[in-house]
Amino acid sequence: MKIGKSSKSAIARAVRNNPVARNGLHAGEIALFGSTFRERIAKSTLSLYYKSVFRRHWAWQVYGEPHFSIHAGALFELFDGSLGAGVYSLTRAFLSAEIIGDGATVLDIGCGDGALTKRFYAPRAAHVDAIDIEESAIGYALSHNPAPNIVYRRLDAVIDAFPRPSYDIIIFDGAIGHFTRDGSMEVLRKISSALATGGVFCGSESLGPEGQDHLQVFDTLDDLRALLGQQFKHVRVKQQRYPLASLANGRVEAYWRCSNTDGRLEELDWQ
């Protein structure tokens, strides 16, 4: 039988008010679930595991060149306090998540492993369609990051129709640089058409050269703003620089919010 919240609170208060029960349960917790020493061992083991996952995925490339990132390692490092770039590499997810209203319908284009989809976008959304052209990414997302309100689909955002005709929020993080200019223009046209009244299109991309798999490069915020402005009535962009081990000068990442509804971006208070 499931114990309700009120019953749990009553039990906790009773334990706190009984020194024998309180001390006994405290000792039991340590015996069963471990002390800070066991925590250090567990963290060390997980750290070694996620570093191994990264090497298998990116360094050894047993299954070929990877086409998506596994975010589990970065999320663990954030929890552990050892994430070299701090929270900055996850800024894109926080910025997207904060504009998702309760009950929103969301389209996540280029969802990759689904880690950010599940942890940042799904908790407040009523429904999330998460799409990626890479079959292995969708397979990984289905296995490792499922949620009742997420539907993962392999889909080519350029040529295939979106799963739904309309969305409140459309997210396109870290992917537009992997499209040709013509391809990105077609995707942006489809996104603009699929935004519900009051809907917002948000996303991110690095500025300047980064990686050999980028098919277009945005040198400045103005370059990105010009592209987005061809399809959206209202565009806001901003950027930040943060350290990244693979880049000597760090990464400069741009973020955008777009809407076709007057006043909508002002409501979101992005100054």
Shared domain for 97 and 206, answered yes or no, is yes
Shared domain for 27 and 131, answered yes or no, is no
Q: Could you count the other beta carbons within 10 Å of the beta carbon of residue 10?
A: 12
Q: What is the pLDDT of residue 178?
A: 87
3-class SS of residue 172: strand
Q: What is the pLDDT of residue 74?
A: 87
Task: Tell how strand 150-154 and strand 167-173 pair up.
Answer: unpaired
Mean pLDDT by 10 residues, the chain (271 residues): 77 92 91 88 93 91 86 87 75 95 96 97 97 96 98 97 98 91 96 98 91 83 96 96 76 95 89 56
Shared domain for 56 and 159, answered yes or no, is no
Query: Does the residue 164 lie in any domain?
Result: yes
Burial class (CB in 10 A: 0-12, 13-18, 19+), 142: middle
Query: Does the residue 170 lie in any domain?
Result: yes
CB 122 within 8 Å of CB 128: yes
Shared domain for 221 and 93, answered yes or no, is yes
Q: What is the pLDDT of residue 1?
A: 54
Shared domain for 259 and 130, answered yes or no, is yes
- The residue type found at 189 is R
Percentages helix, strand, coil for the chain, rounded to the nearest 5?
Answer: 45, 20, 35
Query: Does the residue 80 lie in any domain?
Result: no
Shared domain for 100 and 201, answered yes or no, is yes
CA distance 162 to 127: 14
Query: Does the residue 211 lie in any domain?
Result: yes
* Count of structural domains, the chain: 2
Shared domain for 46 and 126, answered yes or no, is no
Distances (CA, A) of 10 to 5, 17, 29, 109, 188: 9, 11, 19, 46, 54
Task: Tell how strand 247-259 and strand 167-173 pair up.
Answer: unpaired
Query: Does the residue 67 lie in any domain?
Result: no
Shared domain for 123 and 246, answered yes or no, is yes
Distances (CA, A) of 63 to 7, 49, 105, 136: 51, 19, 34, 10
Q: What is the pLDDT of residue 100?
A: 97
Q: Could you count the other beta carbons within 10 Å of the beta carbon of residue 199?
A: 22
Which residue, 25, 43, 60, sits at the end of a domain? 60
Shared domain for 94 and 209, answered yes or no, is yes
Quote the domain boundaries for residue 245.
86-267
Shared domain for 24 and 157, answered yes or no, is no
Q: What is the pLDDT of residue 132?
A: 97
Query: Does the residue 107 lie in any domain?
Result: yes
CA distance 180 to 55: 29
Query: Does the residue 253 lie in any domain?
Result: yes
**CATH number of the domain that residue 120 is part of:** 3.40.50.150
- The residue type found at 12 is A
Shared domain for 29 and 94, answered yes or no, is no
Q: What is the pLDDT of residue 247?
A: 67
Shared domain for 176 and 244, answered yes or no, is yes
Query: Does the residue 179 lie in any domain?
Result: yes
